[in-house]
Amino acid sequence: MESHTPAFKFRLGLFIITGIGLFILGIFIIGKQKNLFDPVFTLKANFFNVSGLQVGNAVRFSGINIGTVDKILIVNDSTVKVEMLIKKDVQRFLKGDSQAGIGSEGIIGDKVVVLSQGTSTSKSVRDGQLLTSSEPVETDAIMKSLQITADNAAVATDGIAEMIENINAGKGTLGRLIQDKSMAANLDQTLVNLKKSTKGLNENMEAAKHNFLLRGYYKKKAKKEEKAKKEAEEKAEKEKEDAAEAAAKAKQKK
């Protein structure tokens, strides 16, 4: 029987050592993900729908991975229980009124359990405590809402395009105003006539003031306005004097 060469034995030994090293590294990585090497405690939450959450997915608090999903159990036709393994050193930061929700790492990323921050006055969570939960929003519902928004935008765009087309074709009041030069000229003339009428009205009012029949009325009106102005000035002056006197009295009391 032919014996193996030293080079072959070296390669065989290197292969075995590499395999053992990868095996140990794999156990370490899996153990770290499962928190096998850290003290842990258990939290639970019930959901109606876990939206694709799987065992081994991360549990996050304030954006930090603090544990993993350990078990997902169907309790009945309307309840799914999720059990989580949480690092012991973060237990003091989690409050009894914290709420569990299901989010995702991105638009199409893995699902994660997100624990909210409770109130500062609440006590820390206990091992095995059942947290309240909030149901996740399904991706299908979001996509349906986006589709409805897109359809509405398309309808509005079509309506605007049709309106612009009618204006360019001279249809409707606005289209005729823009495209029909004679109509635009008539509108300009109307504005000019309106300015002239306003100017004439002002001139007539000014002439009426000097008319001997209406002169008395305008004089009385002017006197009334002057009297009201004088009374307002006297009132303001009196208030100013009263304020100064009050300040002086307050200063004397000190």
The pTM for the full model equals 0.45
CA distance 173 to 180: 10
pLDDT of residue 46: 93
Cβ contacts of residue 122 below 8 Å, gap of 6+? Answer: 95, 96, 97
Q: How do residues 10-58 score in pLDDT, each as one tens digit?
A: 777 788 888 888 887 776 666 555 555 568 899 999 998 888 889 989 9
**Residues with pLDDT less than 50, the chain:** 1
Q: What is the span of the domain harbouring residue 92? A: 31-136
pLDDT of residue 223: 79
Q: Phi and psi at residue 187, in whole multiples of 5°?
A: -65, -40
**What are 157's two structure tokens?**
């765009």
pLDDT of residue 114: 92
What's the pLDDT score for residue 80? 92
In a domain, 57, yes or no: yes
For 197-211, how does the pLDDT look when each residue is reduced to its tens digit (9 = 90+)? 676 666 556 655 555
* Residue 170 placed within a domain: no
Asked if the structure places residue 182 within a domain, the reply is: no
5 falls within a domain: no
Decide if 52 is inside a domain: yes
CB environment 183-201: b (16+ within 10 A), e (fewer): eeeeeeeeeeeeeeeeeee
Domain presence at residue 82: yes
Q: At which residue do the structure tokens 């809402």 appear?
A: 145
Q: Is residue 69 part of a domain?
A: yes
Q: Which two three-digit tokens encode residue 251?
A: 């200063």
Q: So what's the pLDDT on residue 23?
A: 80
Distance between CA atoms of 46 and 212, rounded to whole angstroms? 93
4 occurs within a structural domain:
no
Terminal Cα-to-Cα distance of the chain (whole angstroms):
120
As for how many domains the chain has, the answer is: 1
